[in-house]
C-alpha cells in the first residue's frame, strides 16, 4: 500500500449560481437500480440520499423550461467491462432501470451509454445543440467515474458545466475529492454547494 502526505489544494465551491433556463439542461447520470438501490449489483452507499435532492432539481428545471436528460449505463451479455466491475446494468434488467423516484417524464430525454462518458458514441451532443442547450448541470453517480467522464466530455465540447456537490455520490470521500478537483481544475467546471443553489432564470 502506498501512503503519502501532501498538501491538499483548496477547491472553490459556489453558494448560488444563476443559469438561463432556456439554454440549460440537467444531466442525471446513471441513477439506476444497480447503483442506487441497496439490492443493486454495484450499490453506491451515498447514492440514495441524493435521490430527493436530484428530484427537487429536475422538478424545478422542468418548471422553468430547462431540458432534463437521463443517462443509463447500458451493457449487453459478455461486455468486456464486466472484467473490471462484474456484470451490471444489463439492458432490460431491473438493475438497468432508473429508480422509480426519478423516473423520466414525457419530454425528458433518455440516453443509453455503453461507456463512462455520456457523449461517447451517443446522440447527446447533437440533441443538446438541436435544443440550443449550452449550460449543463450534471448530477448523479459515480462521482469520479461516469459523472467525471461526462463532465469531461461536455467541457471538451465547450459546454459550461455546473456540478451541485450534494447531488453527486461517490464510493468514498477520496474519490469525491479527486472528482471535484478535476472538474474545477482540469475542466473549469463550477461546483455548487447544493442543488438548491442552482437557480434557473
* Active site members: 30, 113, 146
* CB atoms near residue 126 (< 10 Å): 10
Long-range CB contact pairs, 41-46, < 8 A, 24+? 41/86, 41/87, 41/88, 41/89, 41/95, 42/85, 42/86, 42/88, 42/89, 44/141, 44/142, 44/169, 44/170, 44/171, 45/169, 45/171, 46/169, 46/170
Amino acid at each position: 500500500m502506498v501512503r503519502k502526505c501532501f498538501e491538499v489544494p483548496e477547491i472553490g465551491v459556489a453558494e448560488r449560481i444563476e443559469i438561463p433556463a432556456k439554454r440549460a439542461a440537467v444531466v442525471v447520470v446513471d441513477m439506476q437500480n444497480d447503483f442506487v438501490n441497496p439490492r443493486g449489483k454495484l450499490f453506491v452507499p451515498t447514492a440514495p440520499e441524493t435521490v430527493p435532492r436530484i428530484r427537487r432539481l429536475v422538478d424545478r428545471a422542468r418548471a422553468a423550461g430547462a431540458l432534463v436528460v437521463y443517462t443509463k449505463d447500458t451493457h449487453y451479455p459478455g461486455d468486456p467491462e464486466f472484467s473490471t466491475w462484474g456484470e451490471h446494468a444489463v439492458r432490460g434488467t431491473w438493475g438497468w432501470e432508473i429508480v422509480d423516484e426519478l423516473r423520466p417524464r414525457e419530454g425528458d430525454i433518455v440516453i443509453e451509454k455503453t461507456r463512462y462518458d455520456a457523449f461517447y458514441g451517443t446522440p447527446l451532443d447533437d440533441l443538446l445543440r438541436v435544443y440550443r442547450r449550452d449550460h449543463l448541470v450534471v448530477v448523479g453517480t459515480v462521482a469520479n467515474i461516469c459523472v467525471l467522464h461526462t463532465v469531461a466530455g461536455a467541457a471538451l465540447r465547450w459546454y459550461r458545466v455546473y456540478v451541485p456537490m450534494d447531488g453527486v455520490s461517490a464510493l468514498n470521500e477520496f474519490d469525491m475529492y479527486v472528482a471535484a478537483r478535476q472538474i474545477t481544475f482540469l475542466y473549469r467546471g463550477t461546483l455548487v454547494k447544493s442543488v438548491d443553489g442552482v437557480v434557473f432564470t
